[in-house]
Amino acid sequence: MASEMVGEILKLSIAVTLVAVFSISVYSLLPDERIPYMEIELSSDINNSSIIHLTHVGGDSLRVSEISLEITNSSNISQTNYTKLSTLTSQPYWRFPETVDINITKLLNTNPEGVTVTVIHTRGILAEGVIST
């Protein structure tokens, strides 16, 4: 009678161990989170050259709080401005076909010619573009 109980306990412990090993091995096979895909159109305003338009033209909808912009002046005096996208729009998500306007002279005190705009997500760089007039 005691040997039957010991046998059952051993079978149960082997089953629990196998389930734990199997779940750990399956969990390690899960893919990593991917960098979101987004197509962005970067353009300057025809009427006001100090305004740059960032337009979401396709891809994933993203939380605005996870996106930041690096705006760099490539003239003789290098200036860089890091701005969270949430300060430029009141929307919680950036979806197709929304446009965000950036006033370059307010951020860098310079003409937008030769300005590089980099769109950065918390998981990677989404896009980079140079404004040249």
Contact 60, 37 (CB under 8 A): yes
> Per residue in 2-47, pLDDT tens?
788 888 999 999 999 999 998 888 887 777 778 888 888 888 877 7
Contact 120, 69 (CB under 8 A): yes
Contact 106, 87 (CB under 8 A): no
Phi, psi of 116 (to 5 degrees): -100, 130
This prediction's pTM: 0.67
Q: Give the CB-side neighbour count of residue 109, counting CA atoms within 13 A.
A: 3
What per-residue confidence (pLDDT) applies to 107? 67
Residue type, 23: S
What per-residue confidence (pLDDT) applies to 79? 66
> Per residue in 91-113, pLDDT tens?
899 888 888 888 877 766 666 66
Beta-bridge mates of residue 54: 42, 100
Q: Which residues contact 28 (CB under 8 A, 6 or more apart)?
A: none
Note the CATH architecture for domain 38-131: Sandwich (2.60)
What per-residue confidence (pLDDT) applies to 11? 93
Per-residue pLDDT at 76 exceeds 60: no
> What is the three-class DSSP state of 119?
strand
> Per residue in 50-69, pLDDT tens?
788 889 998 888 898 999 98
Cα-only R_g, the chain:
26
- Binned at pLDDT 50, 70 and 90, residue 114 comes out as confident
